[in-house]
Amino acid sequence: MYELSILSLISLCLVSFIGVPHGSFDGAVAALLGYQSKKRFITFIFWYTIISIAVIFFWIQFPLIALFLFIIMSIIHFGLCDWSFLKINQFKWVVTLTHGINIIFGIIFFHTTESFQIFTFLSNKNFIYFEQYLFVVYFLFGILFLIYCYLSINLKKLRWGIIEMISILLIVSQLDPLTGFALYFCFIHTTKHVYAILNNTNKYLENKKFVFTTTAAFTIITWVGGCIAIIYLNNNFSFSESFIKTIFIGLAALTLPHMTLIDFFYRKKFN
């Protein structure tokens, strides 16, 4: 049974206190998209909450499908963030999938056993069935990476992307899967996202207090909800399993509305 090491525990705390709250800027994003009146903002919060709760209930009922979809969502969301940060309008999906697969399946490649033990916590033992098909994803990544390298001959910005992806692989290969994920999520993905959001809020939003207030409120609500979930789950599961379930199912619950807001609406207006 997978048990959290001190380093893994610290890493999940980083995800909780640094990584997860980056989604708390979604209130500011909503304001950027026009949800500034009290009525429209309450409507935004209502639907955001409904989607998050729906994801949790869906995960409880269909954990295997939910985990599979969460992995796909993570690949797309992380990849789109990297594509947007590189500021390249061309080859959107080649760049997106290459970056997204690099981090998610880079961790799985170097830590297959530990990764699938964590996946077992999040779904059930049936997820191990997919381990035998990992070669398909690795083959796909190899093709995408070769195309990416070819494109980088004429697009200098992609060369930085290659350096970043190789650096990420080197780092995650030397760390346990949760620590590698936490470092990427907190200090690469979150940094890029927050930088872009703050840059646009400074340009287009006059009410800076609104940004601070909504971000702080959403962050505190997330932390309190996470603590309650860990205490509740700890009655039936080990502390390690309770913590992992809370972090990643919580991430999934926040990722769907966050991804919908950022990748389908925000990027269309500000990318």
Choose the weakest-confidence range: 19-23, 77-81, 134-138, 217-221: 19-23
Core vs surface per residue 223-262: b (16+ CB within 10 A) or e: eeebeebbeebeeeeeebbbbbbbbbbbbbbbbbbbbebb
**Mean pLDDT score, 229-246:** 85
Tokens 């959290």 belong to: 4
Confidence of residue 47 (pLDDT cuts 50, 70, 90): very high
Q: Provide the pLDDT for residue 21.
A: 65
Half-sphere exposure of 162 (CA within 13 A, CB side): 16
- Would residue 109 count as lying in a domain? yes
**Average pLDDT value for residue range 20-34:** 81
How far, in Å, CA of 113 to CA of 20, rounded?
Answer: 26
Please indicate, yes or no, if residue 252 is contained in any of the structural domains: yes
Confirm whether 122 is domain-assigned. yes
In this prediction, residue 50 has a pLDDT band, given cuts at 50, 70 and 90, of: very high
Flag whether 1 is in a domain.
Answer: no
In 3D space, the residue among 152, 32, 167, 141 whose CA is nearest the CA of residue 88 turns out to be 152
143: enclosing H helix or E strand:
helix 134-151
Domain membership of residue 79 (yes or no) is yes
Q: At what angle do helices 239-261 and 6-14 cross, to 10 degrees?
A: 30
CB atoms within 10 A of CB 206: 8
Closest CA to 255 of 66, 40, 64: 66
Residue 116 · residue 128 · CB < 8 Å: yes
Which residue range is the domain that position 76 belongs to?
Answer: 6-270
In this predicted model, what pLDDT tens digit does every residue of 62-89 receive, in sequence order? 999 999 999 999 999 999 999 999 988 8
Q: Compute the average pLDDT of residues 261-267.
A: 86
The percentage of residues in the chain with a pLDDT greater than 70, rounded to a whole number, is 98
Place of tokens 């979150």: 190
Q: Which has the closest alpha carbon to 58: 252, 260, 264?
A: 252
Amino acid present at 237: F
Q: 255 lies in a domain?
A: yes
Residue 2 has a pLDDT of 67
Q: What is the DSSP letter of 152?
A: T
* Long-range residue pairs from 70-73, CB within 8 A, at least 24 positions apart, any chain: 70/248, 70/251, 70/252, 70/255, 71/104, 73/252, 73/255, 73/256, 73/259
Residue 229: pLDDT above 90? Answer: no
pLDDT digits (tens, 9 = 90+) for 132-143: 999 999 999 999
The number of domains in the chain is: 1
Q: How far apart are CA 163 and CA 127, in angstroms?
A: 32
In a domain, 94, yes or no: yes
Q: Which helix (H) or strand (E) holds 65?
A: helix 63-86
> How many Cα atoms are found within 13 Å in the side-chain-facing hemisphere of 131?
16
Establish if 12 belongs to a structural domain: yes
Q: Which of 83, 71, 73 is nearest to 134 (CA)?
A: 71
Query: Does residue 96 register a pLDDT over 80?
Result: yes
